[in-house]
Chains A and B, each alone.
Chain A
Amino acid sequence: MRAPTSYQAAFAQFAQGLPAAERALREQAFASFAAAGFPDDSAERWHYTDLNKLAPQNVQLPATLGAPALDELLLPGCESRVWLNGRAQQAAAGGEMPSGAGDALVQLNRAFALPGLQLQLAAGEQRAQPLHALLLTQAQAPGEMHHLAHRIALARGSRATVLLHSAGLPGAASFSSHQLDLDLAEQAQLTLICLQQEGEQAAQLLQTRARIGRDAQLRLINLDFGGQLIRKDWQLQLAEAGAQLEVHGLFAAQQRVHLDNQYEVEHAAPHTSSRQLLRGLGSGRSKSILNDRVLVRPGAFKTDSEQRLANLILERGAEINAKPELEIYADDVKCAHGNSCGQLDERAVFYLRSRGVPEAQARALLTYSFADAVLAQLPIAALRLRLAQTLTRQLGAELDFEDLT
């Protein structure tokens, strides 16, 4: 048994009231997790993030809470659904329990997970309003943890825009894990915004698996602004011909956050394309990891892929580890990647100052414009405005964004 004992105690408590069939499945999952334990850095994917050292050791199930005030978090023009500490605040849409193989983290999630966002669209269905899934964390006692399993399945030709928004309210240290399954059938189109604004003492693990079908399109916008230990795994498979993927990523790592994003884009069929634009800001004593792997399977001819990674280190003490990987097993492909790391152009700062802009604002403005390459992709204007303000406040300058919308 390699799992910390507090997980065992929490599981025993959690499993008590469950029906026998479900309990058996969950016990099986927990046993797999307990036997394997958290991954350590012997695997290359976990080189920078050793969960044996980093994952919370003392955890417990969350207490039940009354509904918090949400006004500041909700967005106009969006249909919203809210989870608080892993509990749905509206009538829960029951999903079936996933089972089968998976790594230790999948098994941990399966042992505890409650249904999160379950969205299934019928063929041709188009949702007019974006769906805002608000995943709130407010830990009363240190080590409170919750686990959610989300699933979005789009049938042929359907379209949706989803904002998966995890946010931390002031409270104690917390831990959450999320499994996200995406299935896009032929010609389906999904815009998924994954916004992470966890609290300063929050650990979050997210594992995403996407299957993109024939001529289907996934646009992913992944934004990280908070947290203490954040690890996100993205397994995005272009499974059939004509599948398209766009990834826009932005992180702003501050203080002592350990932020690890692992993208894996798999071109499994011919005539598929992927575009990735990933940007990051490192400040404080933060440690950011960005691993972006493109895998071209044998036979995936006419693959067209591009990875653009650019990072700014804003303060001494911050660390950014970026790696755009290519693994290619077919010859008639077009794959390019670029990766850079640097700081603001001092000449640009000087130019703005010579025009009377104070230095802090000049830097904030330039940093914001760097980040805006990603934020501009947001299809929800209110969200873009809010994040622009959040970001510039983080950078220590208030900018006027009245004209932005």
Chain B
Amino acid sequence: MEANPTDIEKLVAGRKYEAGFITDIESERVPPGLSEDVVRLISAKKNEPDWLLDFRLKAYRRWLNMREPRWAHVQYPAIDYQALSYYSAPKSMANAPKTLDDVDPKLLETYKKLGIPLREQEMLAGVQQVAVDVVFDSVSVATTFRAKLAEAGVIFCSISEAVREHPELVRKYLGSVVPFADNFYAALNSAVFSDGSFVFVPKGVRCPMELSTYFRINERNTGQFERTLIVCEDDAHVSYLEGCTAPQRDENQLHAAVVELVALDRAEIKYSTVQNWYPGDENGVGGIYNFVTKRGDCRGVASKISWTQVETGSAITWKYPSCILRGDDSVGEFYSVALTHHHQQADTGTKMIHLGRNTRSTIVSKGISAGQGQQAYRGLVRVLEKAEGARNHTRCDSLLIGDKCGAHTFPYTEVRNPSAIIEHEATTSKISDDQLFYCRSRGIGEEDAVSMIVNGFCKDVFKELPMEFAVEAQKLLQVSLEGAVG
């Protein structure tokens, strides 16, 4: 049975961006352009100590001499870094709100539309308690459940707050996983980062709830540069959820975040992302440029870092959540579902750097391309000379929906130790007509059938997501792929 391609295109084209709306709030913005003065201004506005300003300036000076990376399998017009505004804060934040009641009702309205259960009573009605540190453009708006976390000894606050309240911790770990000159976008972020989350779980503490941050990019033409830092001391455990949506825009917006994770002896960090930024319209106009550096450092023995990501948004994604397996017996995991649609392009994957003995890593990547989307998995598994007994397994599948999209795989393996065992396998296929026919002959509609098959395809990854995210992720894919049959 052959599906009619024009029907498919019609159905695929029918997908609208549900989170597309703009909140009209007066913002305080720095005029477009980047210079040392802007870096100093950002730092001054946030009342930062000198060492942090130095960090920013060093990064900025290095950034000036760096080349924009061009090796990724994505195409976009050159970005004018001088045309962007590097700081934007909703004005109502000038008098920092004490409780949620003080928060601008328009902000709260925005989150309500996105369905973020900000108020604690709403959260209690949910299955599980989730603390949300909401980033609205650049400033953290509200943090919930602080008291309960503080009781356990967990610090969960915005990074600017952490700089004020816990400078010694921030100073010790900031830039220790992603150095300020790591790459072009990380250097840019280090120079102008605005806000983000900071999590510190002390020795032996199991964080009592899942932590969550919703990011939104709202202001026109502002790059958003979050900086997230999560530190787990010995035997500590945390699960962190990051969700992202952004309103509909015509101009492309730049997003260059840096996420650093540090896991000490036997610590475990689970970092989950559902990314649903504006992908641009059917003609490829607009959408977010998402150039992110995410890296976890398994510094201690038997530590574990697990990345799970569901990427359905952004016009361009350039993102490689990585693990440095430094401690002996440490474990790195990467589970990813990435969907590209219309004119979206994604070049995403992971890096597993095996340094310690008996380190293990698992990579499961599922890519779905529809419309004219281009999807690339780019992964690196590197086993250094001293990494005795290192083990990696990589599974990488691509699903093509339609004949104008592309799916690409670039799995780098670099092995320098004879005892390492590295395996990589990959397949590329389309939704088979047989599967589809079978479902339809059982009375399941075409759309539901496709959604079911795609969900099955992604199941290995979804089962790694925390419950509330797994539901959201499935819904996102369903909306994204309505009726798209190959």
- Chain A residues within CB distance 8 Å of chain B: 44, 298, 301, 311, 313-343
Contact of A339 among B401, B404, B421, B423 (CB under 8 A): B423
On chain B, which size bracket covers the interface? Answer: 35 or more
Quick one: which of A323, A324, A341, A342 has the most chain B CB within 10 A?
A341
In the complex formed, the residue of B with least CB distance to A319 is B416
Q: Which residues on the B side are within 8 Å of A319 (C-beta)?
A: 414-416
Are B406 and A341 in contact (CB-based, < 8 A)? no
Measured CA separation A324–B376 after assembly (Å): 13
Q: Contact between A327 and B423 (Cβ–Cβ < 8 Å)?
A: no
Is B81's CB within 8 Å of the partner chain A?
A: no
Determine if B409 and A331 form an interchain contact, defined as CB atoms under 8 angstroms apart. Answer: no
Task: Select one of A317, A331, A333 contacting B401, CB under 8 A.
Answer: A331
A51 to B418, CA, bound (A): 27
Chain A residues whose C-beta falls within 8 Å of the C-beta of B415 in the assembled complex: 311, 313, 319-321, 341
Contact A316 B425, beta carbon cutoff 8 Å: no
Interchain nearest-CB distance for A322 vs B (Å)? 5
Tell me the smallest distance from the CB of B363 to a CB of chain A, in Å: 12
Considering the chains assembled together, what is the distance between the CA atoms of A298 and B407 in angstroms? 12
Among the stretches B58-66, B157-165, B287-295, B427-435, the one at the interface with A is B427-435
**B419 beta carbon closer than 8 Å to chain A:** yes
Residues of chain A contacted by B424 (CB below 8 angstroms): 324, 337-340
B453 to chain A, nearest CB (A): 14
The listed residue (A317, A326, A334) touching B385 by CB distance below 8 A is: A317
Going nearest first, the 10 A-B pairs with the smallest beta carbon separation are A331-B400, A339-B424, A341-B422, A313-B418, A326-B409, A342-B421, A327-B408, A331-B430, A335-B428, A319-B416
Instruction: Tell me if B428 and A328 are in contact (CB < 8 A).
Output: yes
Task: Answer whether residue B403 sits at the interface, using C-beta atoms and an 8 A cutoff.
Answer: yes
User: Is the contact region of chain B dominated by helix, strand, or loop, or is it mixed?
Assistant: strand
B422: nearest residue on chain A (CB-CB)? A341
Chain B residue numbers with a CB within 8 Å of A325 are 408-411
- Report B381-393 CB contacts with A as 1/0, cut-off 8 Å: 0000100000000
**Interface residues, chain B, with chain A CB atoms under 8 Å away:** 71, 73, 385, 398, 400-430, 486
Q: In the bound complex, do residue B403 and residue A330 qualify as a contact, i.e. CB atoms below 8 Å apart?
A: yes
Q: A residues within 8 A CB of B413?
A: 320-323, 339, 341
Assuming the A-B contacts A321-B412, A340-B423, are A315 and B418 also in contact, with contact meaning beta carbons closer than 8 angstroms in the complex?
A: yes
Sampled A-B contacts (16; CB under 8 Å): A301-B403, A313-B415, A313-B418, A316-B417, A316-B418, A320-B413, A322-B413, A325-B408, A326-B407, A326-B408, A330-B400, A331-B430, A335-B427, A340-B423, A340-B424, A341-B421
Contact B419 A343 (CB under 8 A): yes
A328 touches B407 (CB 8 A): yes
Within the assembled complex, what's the spacing in Å between the Cα atoms of A339 and B421? 11
A320: chain B residues at CB < 8 Å are 413-415
Residues of A close to B418: CB separation below 8 A = 313-316, 318, 343
Give A319 to B422 CA distance when docked, in angstroms: 13
Best-buried of B406, B423, B425, B428 by chain A (most CB within 10 Å): B428
Residues of the A chain whose Cβ atoms lie less than 8 Å from the Cβ of B398: 326, 328
CB contacts (< 8 Å) of B401 on chain A: these are: 331
Q: Which chain A positions have C-beta within 8 A of B422?
A: 339-342
Residues of A within 8 A of B426 (CB): 324, 326, 336-338
B402 and A331: CB pair below 8 A?
yes
Shortest C-beta distance, B479 to chain A (Å), equals 22
Given contacts A314-B418, A343-B418, 12 further A-B contacts (CB under 8 A): A313-B417, A313-B420, A319-B416, A324-B424, A325-B411, A327-B73, A330-B400, A330-B403, A331-B403, A331-B486, A339-B424, A342-B422
Q: What's the least CB distance linking A156 to chain B, in Å?
A: 32
Contact status B406-A327, CB under 8 Å: yes
Q: Which residue on B lies nearest to A332, using beta carbons? A: B430
Kindly state the separation between the CA atoms of A318 and B385 in the bound complex, as whole angstroms: 9
Residues of B contacting A330 in the complex (Cβ-Cβ under 8 angstroms): 400, 403
Docked pose: A323 CA to B396 CA in angstroms: 13
**Nearest-Cβ distance from residue A365 to partner chain B, whole angstroms:** 18
Distance (Å) between the CB of A397 and the closest chain B CB?
18
For B72, give the chain A residue with the smallest CB separation.
Answer: A44
Complex alpha-carbon distance, A187 and B403, angstroms: 29
Bound: A241/B381 CA distance, A: 36
* Residues of chain B with a CB closer than 8 A to A315's CB: 418
Closest residue of B by beta carbon distance from A327 = B408
Cross-chain contact B408 with A328 (CB below 8 angstroms) = yes
Bound-state Cα–Cα, A379 to B10, Å: 54
Contact yes or no, B411 A323, CB < 8 A:
yes
B423 near A321: Cβ-Cβ < 8 Å: no
In the bound complex, CA of A1 to CA of B404 (Å): 43
Flag if A326 contacts B423 (CB, 8 Å): no
